[in-house]
Structure formats: C-alpha cells, structure tokens
Amino acid sequence: MAQQHCSTAEAALYQELMTLDDLSSATLDRHHLHIECLAAEITRRRQMLVNARAAEEKAELAASVTRDLWVVCSAATHKWRQIEDDVRRAVEIHSEAAGEIEADDEILVRFGRGPLSQVAKTDSITRRSSE
C-alpha cells in the first residue's frame, strides 16, 4: 500500500516535472527530496512488516508451546485423578475387609474361638518356624 502510494506520488511528480518549461534546481531538489522521503517511508513500512511477521511467528510458537504444555498438564491431571480414585477405592476395599474381619472376629469370640487376626498371626508364625 505504501509502495503504491509512493508510485502514484512519484508519477505525479514526474508528470509535474514534464509540464514545467524551465526547471529550477531548487524545484528539482525539492522533488528529489520528496521522492527520497517516500522511499524512506516505504523502507520503514517494510521493516515494520518484517517485524510484525517475526512477532507473529513468535506468538504462534508461544501458542504452540502453551498448547503442548496444556496437553501435558491435562494428561497429568487426568492421571492424578485416576490415581486418587484408585487410592480411594483401595481404602474403601481395605476398610470393608477390615470391617468384615472384625465382624467375623466378634462372631468367633462369641462362639469361643480366637479372633481371625490372632489365628492368621499364629499361622504365619507356625509356617515360618516349620520352614
């Protein structure tokens, strides 16, 4: 867009120069200076475009890295929730089993036998000593 503006302005200047019969050196210098200013503006805008493209590439890379990190964090969060659920289920199963053992022990005590936990300890000691 800046180059198109410069080309249009340059064409207009040259058209004006062609219509002048006697060209003074001051007029010629003024027009030449105007053309140089337009060329500098084009250079500046091109550099802005290059900088904007570089910034866009950096932003896209940062977004990609952020997306990758989010995926990893999301997977880790999901895995952590699975672990918490597994631990919760294991604790519930253990509590249930302990409750059942206690209930069985109470029944055995009522009927004159020792508790299962005592029997299990005795059995493991007996097995170790026989080995």
Instruction: Give the model confidence (pLDDT) of 50-93 as tens digits.
Output: 999 999 999 999 999 999 999 999 999 999 999 999 999 999 99
Domain range for 62 is: 2-130
Distance CA 31, CA 24 (A): 11
Please give the pLDDT value at position 74: 95
Q: Is the pLDDT of residue 114 over 90?
A: no
Q: How far apart are CA 12 and CA 105, in angstroms?
A: 107
How far apart, in Å, are the Cα atoms of 27 and each of 14, 18, 38, 88? 12, 12, 17, 89
Rounded to whole angstroms, how far apart are CA atoms 91 and 71?
30
Integer-rounded Cα Rg, in Å, for the chain is 44
Model confidence at 123: pLDDT above 60 = no
Q: Dihedral sign, CA of 111, 115, 118, 122? A: positive
Instruction: Quote the number of domains for the chain.
Output: 1
For residues 13 and 39, the answer to whether their CB atoms sit within 8 Å is no
Q: What is the mean pLDDT of residues 20-24?
A: 66
